[in-house]
C-alpha cells in the first residue's frame, strides 16, 4: 500500500466519509508496517483547499457577523464556522503526514490519529447543522488554515510552530469563551448539544496541541535550535503581536507550553 497516494486522495476529497475511510486505512497500515516514501517522491502543491468545491471562500473581513443564536440561522452560522475549522484541520493533519515523509512512524501515527479526531468532530457538527436545516457550504468561509499550511509547506519546524502551537493553541483560548457565551441559552436543545460538542472538542484539542508541542521540540533538538525559536517563527509570520483577549493558562500548560512562553503570549500570571 502506498499511503502517500491514499493520503493525496484523502486531502483532495471534499467528502468527509471518503476522508474517514482513507484515513482509517492509512492509520491501520501505519500501525502494522514501517512506511517510507518511494524514491523520487515529491509531495504535491495543492492549488486550492478541498472544500473549495463546497464553500464560497471570502476574505475574513467579509464574513458575516455571527449573532442572535436563538434563531436557527444565527446558531447555524456559528456551528458552520466551527465545523469549517474542523474540516480544515482534517486536511492539515493529513498533510502533516503526506508532506514530511522522513519523519518517524510515531509522528505519522500521531497525525493520522489527529485527523481521525477532526473527522469525528466535523461529522458531529455537520449533524447538528443539518438538524438546524443547513448543510456545510451554506455560509461563506475563509481559507486561513489552508493559507498557513501553504506558507509553512517548505519547513516542518515552521509547520509545527504555526499550525498546532499557534492556531490550534489559540482555539484553546477561544473555546471556553464561546461556551461561556452560550451557557445562559443552554435551555435551547440545539445550543445544549453544541455546548456538549464543544467540551469534547476542547478536551481532545489539548492532546492535538500536545502532539504538536512534542514534535516541535523533537525538531528543535534534531536541528540544534533553542525552543525559543518559536517566537522568532511567530514574528517572521507576523503572528507574534496578534491581539489575544484571553490566554488559557491551564490548557496551554497541559498542552506543553511553559509559563515563560505563556507570559510572552500575554498572560499576566502563570504558576
**What does the pLDDT look like over 105-151, one tens digit per residue?**
999 999 999 999 999 999 999 999 999 999 999 999 999 999 999 99
Report the mean per-residue pLDDT for the chain.
94
Q: Distance between CA 87 and CA 20 in Å, rounded?
A: 11
CA 233: distance to chain centroid? 18
Over residues 25-32, the mean pLDDT reads 95
- The residues, ordered by sequence, that sit 6+ positions from 23 with a Cβ below 8 Å of its Cβ are 10, 90, 94, 112, 115, 116, 119
- With bands split at pLDDT 50, 70 and 90, how would you rate the model's confidence at 66? confident
Q: pTM of the prediction?
A: 0.95
Residue in this structure with the C-alpha cell 446558531, named with its chain if needed: 75
Is residue 38 scored above 80 in pLDDT?
A: no
- With bands split at pLDDT 50, 70 and 90, how would you rate the model's confidence at 240? confident
**What does the pLDDT look like over 158-168, one tens digit per residue?**
999 999 999 99
> Which of 150, 148, 168, 146 lies closest to 43 in space, CA to CA?
150
pLDDT score, position 69? 81
Over residues 200-215, the mean pLDDT reads 98
- The residues, ordered by sequence, that sit 6+ positions from 205 with a Cβ below 8 Å of its Cβ are 168, 171, 172, 175
- With bands split at pLDDT 50, 70 and 90, how would you rate the model's confidence at 22? very high
Is residue 183 scored above 90 in pLDDT?
A: yes
- The residues, ordered by sequence, that sit 6+ positions from 220 with a Cβ below 8 Å of its Cβ are 157, 226, 227, 229
> Which of 90, 113, 116 lies closest to 211 in space, CA to CA?
113
Over residues 70-78, the mean pLDDT reads 91
Q: Distance between CA 81 and CA 61 in Å, rounded?
A: 14
What single string gives the DSSP state of each residue in 58-88? --GGGSPPP--TTSHHHHHHHHHHHHHHHHH
Reading the block at residue 166, the C-alpha cell is: 499557534
- With bands split at pLDDT 50, 70 and 90, how would you rate the model's confidence at 211? very high
Question: 143 burial class (0-12, 13-18, 19+ CB within 10 angstroms)?
Answer: buried
- The residues, ordered by sequence, that sit 6+ positions from 125 with a Cβ below 8 Å of its Cβ are 79, 82, 83, 86, 197
- With bands split at pLDDT 50, 70 and 90, how would you rate the model's confidence at 29? very high
pLDDT score, position 62? 87
Distances (CA, A) of 46 to 16, 42, 50, 178, 220: 18, 12, 9, 32, 27
Reading the block at residue 177, the C-alpha cell is: 469563551
Going along the chain from its start, the domains and CATH numbers come out as 3-36+63-264 (1.20.1260)
Is residue 37 scored above 80 in pLDDT?
A: no
> Which of 257, 212, 209 lies closest to 100 in space, CA to CA?
212
In percent, the amount of the chain with pLDDT more than 70 equals: 100
> Which of 47, 51, 36, 40 lies closest to 4 in space, CA to CA?
36
Q: Distance between CA 64 and CA 68 in Å, rounded?
A: 12
Is residue 244 scored above 90 in pLDDT?
A: no
Name which residue leads in pLDDT, 206 or 243.
206
Reading the block at residue 81, the C-alpha cell is: 464556522
Is residue 64 scored above 90 in pLDDT?
A: no
Amino acid at each position: 500500500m502506498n499511503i502517500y497516494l491514499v493520503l493525496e486522495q484523502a486531502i483532495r476529497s471534499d467528502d468527509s466519509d471518503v476522508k474517514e475511510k482513507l484515513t482509517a486505512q492509512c492509520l491501520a497500515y501505519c500501525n502494522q508496517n514501517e512506511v517510507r516514501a518511494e524514491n523520487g517522491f515529491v509531495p504535491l502543491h495543492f492549488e486550492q483547499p478541498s472544500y473549495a468545491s463546497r464553500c464560497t471562500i471570502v476574505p475574513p473581513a467579509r464574513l458575516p457577523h455571527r449573532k442572535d443564536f436563538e434563531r436557527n440561522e444565527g446558531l447555524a452560522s456559528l456551528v458552520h464556522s466551527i465545523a469549517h475549522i474542523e474540516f480544515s484541520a482534517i486536511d492539515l493533519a493529513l498533510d502533516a503526514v503526506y508532506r514530511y515523509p522522513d519523519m518517524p512512524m510515531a509522528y505519522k501515527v500521531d497525525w493520522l490519529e489527529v485527523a481521525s479526531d477532526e473527522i469525528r468532530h466535523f461529522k458531529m457538527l455537520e449533524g447538528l447543522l443539518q438538524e438546524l436545516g443547513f448543510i456545510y457550504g451554506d455560509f461563506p468561509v475563509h481559507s486561513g488554515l489552508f493559507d498557513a499550511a501553504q506558507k509553512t509547506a517548505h519547513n516542518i519546524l515552521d509547520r509545527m510552530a504555526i499550525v498546532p502551537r499557534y492556531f490550534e493553541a489559540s482555539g484553546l483560548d477561544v473555546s471556553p469563551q464561546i461556551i461561556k457565551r452560550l451557557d445562559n441559552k443552554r435551555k435551547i436543545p440545539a445550543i445544549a448539544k453544541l455546548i456538549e460538542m464543544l467540551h469534547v472538542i476542547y478536551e481532545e484539542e489539548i492532546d492535538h496541541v500536545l502532539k504538536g508541542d512534542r514534535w516541535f521540540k523533537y525538531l528543535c533538538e534534531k536541528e540544534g535550535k533553542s525552543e525559543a525559536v518559536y517566537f522568532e517563527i511567530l514574528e517572521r509570520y507576523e503572528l507574534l503581536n496578534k491581539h489575544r483577549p484571553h490566554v488559557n493558562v491551564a490548557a496551554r500548560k497541559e498542552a506543553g507550553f511553559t509559563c515563560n512562553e505563556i507570559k510572552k503570549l500575554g498572560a499576566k500570571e502563570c504558576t
